[in-house]
Amino acid sequence: MNIDPFIEAEEVTGHSVKNACRLLEVSRAAFYHRRTAAPSVRAVTDAELTKKITAIHAESKGTYGSPRMHRALRKNGVDCGKRRVCRLMCQAGLEGRCKKRWRRTTVADPAAEAALDLIQRSFGPGAEIDRRYVGDITYIATWEGWAYLATVIDLSSRRIVGWALADHMRTELVSDALSMALRSRDPSEGLIFHSDRGCQQYTSADYGELARRNGVVLSIGRKGECWDNAVAESFFATIKRELIDTRSWPTRDGLRSAIFDYVEGWYNVRRLHSSLNYCSPAEWEANQRRQAA
């Protein structure tokens, strides 16, 4: 604490500086020297260097820490040490932006990790509706940041039976998509759900428990083989070509509304699919139910 103002106040009011220094346990010689002495060369150069550091920090938009700051000063011809730069930045309350420490948030389920590929690239449509589902995740840029879309597709009719959009890629994203499919379709036990092995969300313990609780059998493709989940990849290419890439997306809510209109108002009920003999998924399912009846 700087006690000079207290002693100077006592001096102004006519009190003895000697008594004030004695009470505050300060040497009179040190007090007078401090009051009359000019700033040291070190203090002056520190002040000048702090100005340069503040300017560079503002130019970097607050991203530079002491290592980059030191290199920037050296490039500008300023010779100083790393510790000095760190000290002056701390005194000025300046700090850089660093990457967040990676934290493992998805715990793998051993049973899901050991799941086999039960589809074997047999993606052709068929009469058995709600027997084989596939799913995957893609990302979409918005002005608010990334949005992540998870889908569940019935291989028989190519219908999007479940989907979810969120600002994260946690297990809840894929769980919400599957839960939507299970609620809307109510498939019988033994349904196969196939996904990409590269997505850890599909091999998490929580997702495995959701599947077991609803009688869903998990199937996972091989590592590094995107063709093992070609139908899901094909849908993402389609929706990006026909919807996502046609305009910019200011908000995630606007994107969610547009995806709902595309999936429920166009893709599932009206869009003609070459793999379904140019029927819509809804029309294909109606034909299969009619033939079964």
For residues 253 and 157, membership in a common domain is answered with yes
Give residue 288's pLDDT.
86
What would the pLDDT profile of 40-92 be if each residue is shown by its tens digit? 788 888 889 999 999 988 887 676 888 888 888 888 888 888 899 999 999 98
Please report whether residue 99 resides in a domain. Answer: no
For residues 163 and 46, membership in a common domain is answered with no
Mean pLDDT over the full length of the chain: 80
Query: 226 pLDDT exceeds 70?
Result: no
Identify which of 240, 207, 228 has the alpha carbon closest to the alpha carbon of residue 105.
207
Give me the percent of the chain exceeding a pLDDT of 90: 27
Domain count, the chain: 2
Give residue 277's pLDDT.
81
Query: 99 pLDDT exceeds 60?
Result: no
Is the pTM higher than 0.85? The answer reads no
For residues 252 and 157, membership in a common domain is answered with yes
For residues 13 and 134, membership in a common domain is answered with no
For residues 215 and 243, membership in a common domain is answered with yes
Please report whether residue 100 resides in a domain. Answer: no
51-54: long-range contacts at Cβ-Cβ below 8 A with a sequence spacing of 24 or more? 52/76, 52/78, 53/85, 53/88, 53/89, 53/92, 53/94, 54/92, 54/94
For residues 128 and 269, membership in a common domain is answered with yes
Q: Which of 32-36, 78-82, 95-99, 224-228 has the highest mean pLDDT?
A: 78-82
Give me the percent of the chain exceeding a pLDDT of 70: 75
For residues 137 and 280, membership in a common domain is answered with yes
CATH number at residue 164: 3.30.420.10
Among the candidates 57, 92, 127, a domain finishes at 92
Please report whether residue 104 resides in a domain. Answer: no
Query: 177 pLDDT exceeds 90?
Result: yes
Query: Which range (15-29, 67-81, 118-132, 210-224) has the least confidence?
Result: 15-29
What would the pLDDT profile of 110-165 be if each residue is shown by its tens digit? 554 445 766 767 677 776 888 889 988 999 999 999 999 999 999 989 999 999 99
Residue 16 belongs to domain spanning: 4-92
Query: 291 pLDDT exceeds 90?
Result: no
